[in-house]
Structure 1
Amino acid sequence: MNRKKKINQTLKSKAKKANAKLQSSNKPKYIAKADREALAAEANSESHAVDTAAVNSVTLDSESAES
């Protein structure tokens, strides 16, 4: 009986591990702290560039309206 139990136990554990590998995780992929800071700095510079472009277009519109 003990030998059968041991064989079944190993087969079940192998099946369980194989099934676990097939499952995908909902957990987001880890991004290193330095990479997160670089992405944040890049996003900040892009948003600053967009804000500057918006301000420039508004000032151009107001100058043309005054003329």
Structure 2
Amino acid sequence: MNRRKKLNQILKANAKKASAELAPKNKDIYISKADRLKLAAEANAEAASDPTTESAPGAASPSEPV
């Protein structure tokens, strides 16, 4: 590979890295499946211990047959 081509390759790579840093980052952070299950379990535990989120005593839950 000649010298000019190599320099152009390096400069293009540096320009690409610089533009990638300036680009907006819209992508969400990855959360592993185990972490998602853990967060869901914590949310369910909080919902179960919180009496304000319970249904009314006379209302039938969707899982119970009427």
TM-score bracket for the superposition, by shorter chain length: 0.5 to 0.7
State percent identity of aligned pairs. 53
- The structure 1 segments of at least 4 consecutive aligned residues displaced by more than 3 Å after TM superposition are none
TM-score, length basis structure 2: 0.57
* Greater relative contact order (Cα < 8 A, sep 6+): 2
1:7-36 residue CA offsets vs partner (Å, 9 max, x unmatched): 334312211122213323211101111111
- Find the partner of 2:52 among 26, 43, 54: 54
- Larger helix share, 1 or 2: 1
Give the number of the structure whose alpha-carbon radius of gyration is greater: 1
Q: Which consecutive residues of structure 1, in runs of 5 or more, have no partner in the other structure?
A: 60-67
The reply to whether residue 40 of structure 1 matches residue 52 of structure 2 is no
Count, aligned residues: 54
TM-score, with structure 1 as normaliser? 0.57
